[in-house]
């Protein structure tokens, strides 16, 4: 069974540019989550999808971040325009019902 | 607000030297305490879920225990391949996990 896949694995962009991260969850997992780890800090929750609906987006930092999950399959997280403080590792996770969450390998975003 | 504090931040052990990692938590309505292992450049890898005080789970050299305020990850006779960052997280009222900063464990041969 394929795991959670994220790409790109690394992205370096200039301040003010736009970046889109993609996450392909495990097939059949209705729940999809985005998390972020900023250097030196803990992994923090950003938002939660159930199928194509946003269940909880309380962790989204500001309106420069836009997450979508069209058709309830893969998800994208767009940052527009990117700022220096957006640098970090973005993780996606998926789970089925009340089981544990499985994480992808992460996308390391560097804004210069 | 849910909170998770892990200690120590880093731990260096000799191969075969047993020890314990601590995870203290405050949560409104615990719906699971999770232990993950993370290797450099990779995502967190699931180890255990604990749901109620007194529960214990084991996997190879690892054993996780839970009380109403904290969880311990006991590592018995560790090997170099057990070196990793161990993360503790809780699920409370919200569905997203609240993580601690992790314990960076190094096992020296």
Q: Which of B42, B96, B101 sits opposite A45 (nearest CB)?
A: B96
Do residues B4 and B87 make contact, with C-beta atoms less than 8 angstroms apart? Answer: no
Distance CA B9, CA B7 (A): 5
Residue A15 has pLDDT above 70, yes or no: yes
Q: Which of B4, B43, B45 sits opposite A106 (nearest CB)?
A: B43
pLDDT at B94: 87
Do residues B18 and B75 make contact, with C-beta atoms less than 8 angstroms apart? Answer: yes
Q: Which of A56, A102, A106 sits opposite B95 (nearest CB)?
A: A56
Name the band, by pLDDT with cuts 50, 70 and 90, for residue A1. Answer: low
Nearest chain B residue (CA) to A42: B101
Query: In chain B, which residues have their Cβ closer than 8 Å to the Cβ of A103?
Result: 36, 43-46
pLDDT at A101: 93
Tell if the CB–CB gap between B4 and A42 is shorter than 8 Å: yes
pLDDT at A97: 77
Does a cis peptide bond (omega within 30 degrees of 0) precede residue B8?
yes
pLDDT at A71: 87
Residue in B96, B98, B100 to test binding to A, most A beta-carbons within 10 Å: B96
Query: In chain B, which residues have their Cβ closer than 8 Å to the Cβ of A42?
Result: 4, 99-102
pLDDT in tens, A16-74: 999 999 999 999 999 999 999 999 899 999 999 999 999 999 999 999 999 999 888 99
Distance CA A75, CA A4 (A): 11
Please spell the DSSP secondary structure of B37-64, one letter per residue: EE-TTS--EEEEEE-STT-EEEETTEEE
User: Dihedral, CA atoms, A14, A18, A20, A21, nearest 10 degrees?
Assistant: 30
Name the band, by pLDDT with cuts 50, 70 and 90, for residue B34. Answer: very high
Min Cα separation B18/chain A (Å)? 26
pLDDT at A11: 98
**What mean pLDDT, rounded, does chain B reach?**
96
Residue A99 has pLDDT above 80, yes or no: no
Tell if the CB–CB gap between B94 and A58 is shorter than 8 Å: yes
């Amino acid at each position: 069974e394929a795991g959670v896949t994220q790409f790109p694995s690394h992205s370096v962009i200039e301040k003010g540019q736009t970046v889109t991260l993609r996450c392909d969850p495990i097939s059949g997992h209705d729940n999809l989550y985005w998390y972020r780890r900023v250097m030196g800090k803990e992994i923090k929750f950003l938002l939660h999808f159930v199928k194509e609906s946003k269940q909880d987006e309380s962790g989204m930092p500001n309106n420069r971040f836009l997450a979508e999950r069209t058709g309830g399959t893969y998800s994208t997280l767009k940052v527009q325009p990117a700022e220096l403080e957006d640098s970090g590792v973005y993780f996606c996770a998926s789970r089925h019902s009340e089981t544990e969450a499985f994480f992808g390998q992460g996308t390391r975003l560097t804004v210069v | 607000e849910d909170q998770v504090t892990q200690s120590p931040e880093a731990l260096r052990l000799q191969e075969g030297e047993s020890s314990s990692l601590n995870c203290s938590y405050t949560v409104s309505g615990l719906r699971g305490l999770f232990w993950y292992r993370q290797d450099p450049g990779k995502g967190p890898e699931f180890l255990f879920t604990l749901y109620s005080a007194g529960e214990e789970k084991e996997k190879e050299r690892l054993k996780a225990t839970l009380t109403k305020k904290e969880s311990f990850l006991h590592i018995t006779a560790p090997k170099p391949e057990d070196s990793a960052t161990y993360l503790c997280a809780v699920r409370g009222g919200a569905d997203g996990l609240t993580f601690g900063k992790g314990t960076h464990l190094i096992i020296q041969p």
